[in-house]
Amino acid sequence: MSLAKSKTPTRRALAERMLEAGSERDDFVVFESDIGYSTYSYLFGDAYPERYFNLGIAELGTMATAAGMAAEGRPAIVCGYGVFLSMRALEAVRSFICYPRMNVKIFSSHGGVTAAVDGVTHQATEDIAFMATLPGMTVLAPCDSASARASFDLALGIHGPVFVRLMRDPLSELYPEGTEFSIGGCHTPRKGDDITIVSYGDLVFQALEAAELLATEGINAEVIDMYSIKPWDRQALRLSLERTKALLVVENHQRKNGLGYELAAWCMREGVSVPFAQLGLDDTFAESGSYPLTIQKFGMDAASIAAAARKLAAAKY
């Protein structure tokens, strides 16, 4: 299976959908903290200047301001980089958005090390941990244009806080436009019986590439794109593991407190006993560099995934 190269990063695909939605409904507003040319929120701002608020480089204040507007009943969107939205603005997200269940959507770019060249201060590698830990928060992580566009509608379609993790660079296109996505759903772009590889965002493509490699060795990997990280699709994982009996979770994030920890804990609770491994940052910070070399160095590329999968598949017997 060879996928079409993407020309549109997910940050842009979602922002283009946001622009379209501006004419479909007139209720929501968009907040930005001086990186509108990077989040592409400026597309909406240029078209709807009266519904666009650029509060300057002030992420914490911006988040709390959005919470205030949401408290008045208006759906509020906040755009920015993952590091600043998930860390500097974290208390506002927790105590004034999640706690009182405010209708705020956070569109968060530069997830994982996809901001590779900028270095650690700009790489959101703990965002899923922070956000998924918050009661009432919904967390989505699309990997391509169709899923990014759908994420906008899923986020606006429910009342309450939603965090959408987006990426800096265009990678590949996986889903045809019009594919159905749902909160709590997942997709299985590759079926297999020997091992289940769960990923989300950019690394779905590495997992698919790894699966191709493994197929040449007679290992048939199933790849699940867990684009809905919270809530996530328990039924799909259960059914998959009943067949494959091995689980590898691959995420562009710290291993600690990411989706891998969540799935492992669930397996333990449910008595699903399968060989398990995780790839992602192993209690370390990444570094500046090119995206391909950085995911390779930190063991998240297709070759690393294939190596880990081989071991797990062997551990089953």
Partner 1 sequence: MTASTHVSSDERIRSLEGHARDIRRAIVSMVHTAQSGHCGGSLSAADVVSALYFDLMNIDPSKPRMPGRDRFVLSKGHACPVLYAALALRGYFPVEELSTLRKNSSRLQGHPVSTYLPGVDATAGSLGLGFAQAVGMALEGRMLKADYHVYALLGDGELNEGVVWEAASTAAKFGLEKLVAIVDRNNLQNDGKADDIMPMEPIDKKFEAFNWRVLTMDGHDMAEVLATLEASNEPTGRPTCIIARTVKGKGVSFMENKREWHGKAPSDDEYSMACKDLEGGCT
Ligand X SMILES: Cc1ncc(C[n+]2csc(CCOP(=O)(O)OP(=O)(O)O)c2C)c(N)n1
Catalog residues that contact ligand X under the rule CB under 6 A: 34-35, 57, 84
Helix axes 203-216, 302-315, angle to 10 degrees: 60
Categorise residue 297: left if φ over 0, alpha if ψ from -120 to 50, beta otherwise: alpha
Determine phi and psi for 3, rounding to 5 degrees: -90, 155
Q: CA 207, CA 152: separation in Å to the nearest integer?
A: 25
Q: How would you list the strands of the sheet with 104-109, edge to edge?
A: 52-54, 29-32, 76-81, 104-109, 162-165, 138-140, 228-230
- How far apart CA 293 and CA 268 sit, in angstroms, is 34
**32 near partner 1 (CB under 8 A):** yes
65 interface partner picked from ligand X, partner 1, none, CB below 5 to 8 A per type? none
The smaller minimum CB distance to ligand X, of residues 35 and 210, is found at: 35
Residue nearest to ligand X (CB): 34
Q: What is the DSSP letter of 158?
A: S
Which range of residues in 10-18, 30-38, 236-244, 249-257 is near partner 1 by CB under 8 A? 30-38
β strands within the chain, DSSP E: 4-5, 29-32, 52-54, 76-81, 104-109, 138-140, 162-165, 172-173, 187-190, 195-199, 221-225, 228-230, 247-254, 276-281
58 binds partner 1 (CB under 8 A): yes
Residue 88 contacts partner 1 per CB under 8 A: yes
Q: Which stretch binds partner 1 (CB under 8 A): 8-16, 35-43, 95-103, 177-185?
A: 35-43
CB of 288 to partner 1, least distance (A): 4
# residues near partner 1 by CB under 8 A: 30
274 binds, among partner 1, ligand X, none (CB under 5 to 8 A by kind): none
Render 92-129 in DSSP notation, one character per residue.
HHIIIIITTT--EEEEEESBBGGGGGG-GGG-BSSHHH
The DSSP secondary-structure symbol of 258 reads S
Measure the CA–CA gap between 217 and 157, rounded to whole angstroms: 44
Residue 69's binding partner, choosing from partner 1, ligand X, none, with beta-carbon cut-off 5 to 8 A by kind?
none
284 belongs to the binding site for partner 1 (CB under 8 A) = no
Site for partner 1 in 142-161 (CB under 8 A): none
**Nearest CB to ligand X, comparing residues 83 and 150:** 83
Q: Toward ligand X, which CB reaches closer, 57 or 303?
A: 57
Residue 56 in contact with partner 1, rule: CB under 8 A: yes
Count Cβ neighbours within 10 Å for each residue of 140-160 and write b for 16 or more, e otherwise: bbbbbbbbbbbbbebbbeeeb
Q: Smallest distance from the beta carbon of 240 to ligand X, in angstroms?
A: 40
The answer to whether 61 contacts partner 1 (rule: CB under 8 A) is: yes
**What binding mask, one character per residue, do residues 101-130 give for partner 1 by CB under 8 A, x or -?**
----------------xxxxxx--------
State yes or no: residue 311 binds partner 1 (CB under 8 A): no
Of 127 and 262, CB closest to ligand X: 127
Beta carbon of residue 109, minimum distance to partner 1 (angstroms, whole number)? 13
Cα 217 to Cα 154: distance, rounded to the nearest angstrom: 39
**Contact residues for partner 1, defined by CB under 8 A:** 32, 34-38, 42, 54-58, 60-61, 83-84, 88, 117-122, 287-290, 293-294, 297
